[in-house]
Amino acid sequence: MEDSELVALASQVRERAYAPYSHYRVGAALLGVSGRVYTGCNVENGVYPLCLCAERAAVGKAVSEGERQFEAIAVVTEDGGTPCGACRQVLSEFGLDIRVIVASASGEIGTFTVRELLPEAFTLAQR
């Protein structure tokens, strides 16, 4: 699957975000090694620590459907923001070489790996 296709799916699901407090809608599209794509959007809550990020929603959906290995995730925000620290750590659980494609609503795109975004990830080897 092309990066542009993942970005388009993330952009579409971004429209479904529930963000009545921050108004910062985020969409994610996670590509499993199986070729399946799992989408997620952010879901806010009046108690901010209970909010769910789009990236973690997509990972949860994928894992609940049996996928455990991922190639890439596209994340679309208004301004091209990268995943938060919690999302970076969750993604690192499944691989430091997962490509993270970050796009803004206006179409600007950047690509990283989880390793680049979280160079000192807490990994299984450290436990």
Active centre residues (catalytic): 55
Nearest to 57 by CA among 99, 100, 98, 86: 86
Exposed, middle or buried, 103 (CB in 10 Å: 0-12/13-18/19+)? buried
* CA 125/CA 127 separation, integer angstroms: 6
